[in-house]
């Protein structure tokens, strides 16, 4: 490649003048870029539920402090804008303040000389438009709609609100058993989450402002790998109340654990022969060894939770019978039926659902994949689990057909890269068209329709549309459909449980089903397929609200004290990531693929934590350093 300089000879000028030149960023632009970076890092490490008016004002102030002062709109206007917004926050603003803010911002936007002024004004205009209700609530009622319940950024993004700085500090002190006990206070599946949690907590870690997020999940893994077994805390005296939990997945078992510790007798009804739900029958053992899942389940069962295995509620026993027999019922049946492609020959021999395939592996009865060509349809984490399991079952070739672009897949990037490293081939922009069958109705090929990227849809990704290209006939023996799961809601709908038109159980954020007294519901069956930690959070919320419904307000004491922060400098330092077995070796078996952190890595990682429970946001209401 070479750069073409266009030259132009001006009349009367002796020399050529170039009309193209390399641009060097202006000073103001450099300052604004730096501001964005600071702001981006700060926003990324804000606790959930921050007030948007407050955040926006902070940005205006930041820009104002960077103003070079050359132009009036920026030098004076931004100051006025900041004052008006301060009035809003302080409750001294009047009804006319909001239009005045808009007018001021608009005129700065149109007249400021550089990006510092007009970008600050643009953000204000955008905030007033998008968070108008927040501005109005401040002006009219002196009330903030920001729903920040806890100021610690990582904790506010963990659905179960695990005490992260607490357990990280315990790991730093080598108190691993206490660290696990502290996690159990909010999440009775520390081991399962140490292996498979999608760790939303890390996205907003405040350490992002310094270098990189703390490896919170890996520290949990280190704690569970090094902790001694410890008995559950002593339960409250028996209340005589009986509770039925339907479904022994993470949500049901979480509710069971806390309710049992509160002194109620819980009986879990599970239609399969083992507990764990999708953690056991979906997530492959190369990501979570089954015996490690049993560590969590055995701890929960040690509290005295009873289990009735092999009982399908709705057929073996009815909802009405359970409601009569128990003081409260928690419904957490997950999402276990497969979504259909609705294409020709979908019921052919050789076509199966992801749920069926993974369940058979979970039951130690894997389907025959040796030497087969497999097409996996889907682009989520479940599709990756299916593809990588197919490789381990000895498939000759594994394709992953996805109707959007690879970068639009909902699977975690590490999962996609892992599948590719293990030999799976991703066919992006191919939608399923039909299954080709032989005379015995056996699948012999998958027909795929080429797609092209179309208009951006509500998910923010280009929607796939048929491309003007011929259908691709991909020879294969097996097709595994991994495009999502539905909920088996019908028997519950028939029993009067309200269900949405998408077939989910209708319960509030508090897990309460308003229409049916004494029945609560949460987890995947309410949200649709989600994550382990979200279903655990629902189980915890259900336990507290069932306890209140029964007329109690039990507090649980796990007896762990959190260490005081060490007063050491936290100098910038890289994040330690976990490593994996080599692809060529790990794809031969279902053994665990991820290694834990080493002792030195865990210690260094734990000491990187800024202890936001005490300092920074932790000094706000709800933090440990509250003033």
Residues forming the site for ligand SF4 (CB under 6 A): 152-154, 158, 160, 162, 164-165, 168, 187, 193, 197, 199-201, 205-207, 214, 216-217, 220, 533, 609-613
Cα separation of 65 and 52, whole Å? 20
How many Cβ atoms from other residues are within 10 Å of residue 423's Cβ? 15
Phi first, then psi: what are they for 381, rounded to 5°?
-60, -35
Asked if residues 409 and 416 have their Cβ atoms less than 8 Å apart, the reply is yes
Asked if residues 473 and 445 have their Cβ atoms less than 8 Å apart, the reply is yes
Smallest distance from the beta carbon of 558 to ligand FAD, in angstroms?
Answer: 22
Confirm or reject binding of residue 313 to ligand FAD (CB under 6 A): yes
Phi first, then psi: what are they for 75, rounded to 5°?
-65, -45
Q: Which listed residue (124, 213, 244, 283) binds ligand FAD by CB under 6 A?
A: 283
Q: Which listed residue (45, 46, 156, 251) binds ligand FAD by CB under 6 A?
A: 251
Smallest distance from the beta carbon of 615 to ligand SF4, in angstroms?
Answer: 9
**Between 474 and 612, whose beta carbon lies closer to ligand SF4?**
612
* Interface characters, 534-563, with ligand FAD (x: CB under 6 A): -x----------------------------
**Between 93 and 333, whose beta carbon lies closer to ligand FAD?**
333
Distances in Å between the Cα of 91 and the Cα atoms of 125, 136, 176, 184 are 20, 10, 48, 42
User: What six digits make up the tokens of 56?
Assistant: 């926006």
Smallest distance from the beta carbon of 154 to ligand SF4, in angstroms?
Answer: 3
Asked if residues 331 and 519 have their Cβ atoms less than 8 Å apart, the reply is yes
Confirm or reject binding of residue 269 to ligand FAD (CB under 6 A): yes
Smallest distance from the beta carbon of 167 to ligand SF4, in angstroms?
Answer: 8
Half-sphere exposure of 372 toward its Cβ, with a 13 Å CA cutoff? 23
Smallest distance from the beta carbon of 291 to ligand SF4, in angstroms?
Answer: 20
CA dihedral 437, 441, 443, 446 (to 10 degrees): 40
The shares of helix, strand and coil residues in the chain, as percent rounded to the nearest 5, are 40, 15, 45
Phi first, then psi: what are they for 598, rounded to 5°?
-75, 170
User: What six digits make up the tokens of 626?
Assistant: 């509250």
Which one of ligand FAD, ligand SF4, none is in contact with 247 (Cβ closer than 5 to 8 A by kind)?
Answer: ligand FAD
How many Cβ atoms from other residues are within 10 Å of residue 459's Cβ? 10
Confirm or reject binding of residue 338 to ligand FAD (CB under 6 A): no
Phi first, then psi: what are they for 256, rounded to 5°?
-60, -45
**Between 262 and 411, whose beta carbon lies closer to ligand FAD?**
411
Smallest distance from the beta carbon of 345 to ligand FAD, in angstroms?
Answer: 25
At residue 2, the 3 state secondary structure works out as: coil
How many Cβ atoms from other residues are within 10 Å of residue 298's Cβ? 12
DSSP 443: E
Cα separation of 226 and 415, whole Å? 26
Smallest distance from the beta carbon of 544 to ligand FAD, in angstroms?
Answer: 17
How many Cβ atoms from other residues are within 10 Å of residue 290's Cβ? 15
* Interface characters, 162-201, with ligand FAD (x: CB under 6 A): ----------------------------------xxx---
Q: Which listed residue (358, 445, 480, 612) binds ligand FAD by CB under 6 A?
A: 358
**Between 200 and 314, whose beta carbon lies closer to ligand SF4?**
200
Confirm or reject binding of residue 246 to ligand FAD (CB under 6 A): yes
**Between 43 and 499, whose beta carbon lies closer to ligand FAD?**
499
Residues of span 486-505 touching ligand FAD by CB under 6 A: 488
Cα separation of 23 and 355, whole Å? 55
**Between 367 and 625, whose beta carbon lies closer to ligand SF4?**
625
Which is nearest to 166 in space by CA: 149, 192, 191, 184? 184
Smallest distance from the beta carbon of 276 to ligand FAD, in angstroms?
Answer: 7
**Between 291 and 414, whose beta carbon lies closer to ligand FAD?**
414
Smallest distance from the beta carbon of 347 to ligand FAD, in angstroms?
Answer: 22
Q: Choose the stretch contacting ligand FAD; rule: CB under 6 A; options: 75-83, 115-123, 500-508, 530-538.
A: 530-538
Distances in Å between the Cα of 360 and the Cα atoms of 249, 281, 282, 285, 310 are 17, 8, 9, 13, 16
Q: Choose the stretch contacting ligand FAD; rule: CB under 6 A; options: 223-231, 370-378, 532-540, 592-600.
A: 532-540
| H helix count then E strand count, the chain | 24, 18
Which one of ligand FAD, ligand SF4, none is in contact with 252 (Cβ closer than 5 to 8 A by kind)?
Answer: ligand FAD
Confirm or reject binding of residue 523 to ligand FAD (CB under 6 A): yes
Asked if residues 322 and 246 have their Cβ atoms less than 8 Å apart, the reply is yes
Asked if residues 519 and 513 have their Cβ atoms less than 8 Å apart, the reply is yes
Confirm or reject binding of residue 381 to ligand FAD (CB under 6 A): yes
Smallest distance from the beta carbon of 324 to ligand SF4, in angstroms?
Answer: 37
Confirm or reject binding of residue 252 to ligand FAD (CB under 6 A): yes
**Between 166 and 334, whose beta carbon lies closer to ligand FAD?**
334
Which is nearest to 611 in space by CA: 248, 154, 106? 154
Which one of ligand FAD, ligand SF4, none is in contact with 250 (Cβ closer than 5 to 8 A by kind)?
Answer: ligand FAD
Which one of ligand FAD, ligand SF4, none is in contact with 523 (Cβ closer than 5 to 8 A by kind)?
Answer: ligand FAD
Burial bucket for residue 140 (CB in 10 Å: 0-12, 13-18, 19+): exposed
Q: Which listed residue (233, 304, 314, 462) binds ligand FAD by CB under 6 A?
A: 314
> In the complex, which residues of this chain contact ligand FAD (CB under 6 A)?
196-198, 246-252, 269-272, 277-279, 282-283, 312-314, 332-334, 336, 358, 381-382, 385, 488, 523-524, 529-533, 535
């Amino acid at each position: 490649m070479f750069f073409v300089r266009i030259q132009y000879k001006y009349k009367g000028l002796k020399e050529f003048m170039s009309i193209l030149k390399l641009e060097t960023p202006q000073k103001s632009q450099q300052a604004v870029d730096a501001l964005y970076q600071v702001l981006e890092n700060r926003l990324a490490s804000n606790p959930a539920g921050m007030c948007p008016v407050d955040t926006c004002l902070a940005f205006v102030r930041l820009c104002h402090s960077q103003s070079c002062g050359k132009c009036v709109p920026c030098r004076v206007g931004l100051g006025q804008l900041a004052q008006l917004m301060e009035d809003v926050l302080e409750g001294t603003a009047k009804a006319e303040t909001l239009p005045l803010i808009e007018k001021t911002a608009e005129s700065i936007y149109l007249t400021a000389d550089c990006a510092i002024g007009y970008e600050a004004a643009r953000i204000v205009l955008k905030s007033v438009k998008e968070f108008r209700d927040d501005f109005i609530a401040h002006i009219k009622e002196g009330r903030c709609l920001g729903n920040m319940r806890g100021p610690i950024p990582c904790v506010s993004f963990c659905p179960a609100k695990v005490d992260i700085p607490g357990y990280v500090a315990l790991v730093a002190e080598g108190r691993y058993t206490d660290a696990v006990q502290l996690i159990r206070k909010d999440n009775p599946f520390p081991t399962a989450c140490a292996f498979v949690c999608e760790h939303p907590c890390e996205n907003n870690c405040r350490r992002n402002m310094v270098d990189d997020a703390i490896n919170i999940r890996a520290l949990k893994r280190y704690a569970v790998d090094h902790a001694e077994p410890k008995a559950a805390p002593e339960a409250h005296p028996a209340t005589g109340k009986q509770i039925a939990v339907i479904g022994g997945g993470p949500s049901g078992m979480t509710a069971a654990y806390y309710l049992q510790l509160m002194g109620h007798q819980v009986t879990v009804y599970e239609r399969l022969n083992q507990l764990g739900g999708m953690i056991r029958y979906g997530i492959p053992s190369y990501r979570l060894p089954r015996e490690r899942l049993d560590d969590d389940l055995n701890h929960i069962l040690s509290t005295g939770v009873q289990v009735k295995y092999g009982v399908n509620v709705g057929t073996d026993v009815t909802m009405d019978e359970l409601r009569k027999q128990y003081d409260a019922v928690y419904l957490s049946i997950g999402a276990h039926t497969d979504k259909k492609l609705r294409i020709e020959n979908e019921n052919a021999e050789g076509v199966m659902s992801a749920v069926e395939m993974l369940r058979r592996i979970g039951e130690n009865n894997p389907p025959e994949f040796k030497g087969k060509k497999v097409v996996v349809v889907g682009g989520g984490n479940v599709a990756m689990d299916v593809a990588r399991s197919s490789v381990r079952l000895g498939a000759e070739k594994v394709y992953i057909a996805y109707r959007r672009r690879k970068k639009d897949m909902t699977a975690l990037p590490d999962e996609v890269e892992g599948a590719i490293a293990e030999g799976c081939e991703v066919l992006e922009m191919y939608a399923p068209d039909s299954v080709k069958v032989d005379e015995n109705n056996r699948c012999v090929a998958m027909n795929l329709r080429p797609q092209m990227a179309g208009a951006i849809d509500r998910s923010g990704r280009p929607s796939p549309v048929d491309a003007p290209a011929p259908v691709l006939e991909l020879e294969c023996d097996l097709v595994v459909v991994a495009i999502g799961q539905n909920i088996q809601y019908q028997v519950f709908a028939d029993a009067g449980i309200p269900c949405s038109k998408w077939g989910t159980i209708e319960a509030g954020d508090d897990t309460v089903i308003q229409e049916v007294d004494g029945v609560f519901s949460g987890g995947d069956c309410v949200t649709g397929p989600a994550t382990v930690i979200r279903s655990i959070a629902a189980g915890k919320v259900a336990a507290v609200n069932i306890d209140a419904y029964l007329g109690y307000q039990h507090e649980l004491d796990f007896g762990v004290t959190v260490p005081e922060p060490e007063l050491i400098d936290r100098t910038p330092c890289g994040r330690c990531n976990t490593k994996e077995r080599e692809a060529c070796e790990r794809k031969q078996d279902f053994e665990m693929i991820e290694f834990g952190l080493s002792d030195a890595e865990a210690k260094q990682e734990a000491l990187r934590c800024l202890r936001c429970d005490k300092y920074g946001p932790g000094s706000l209401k709800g933090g440990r350093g509250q003033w």
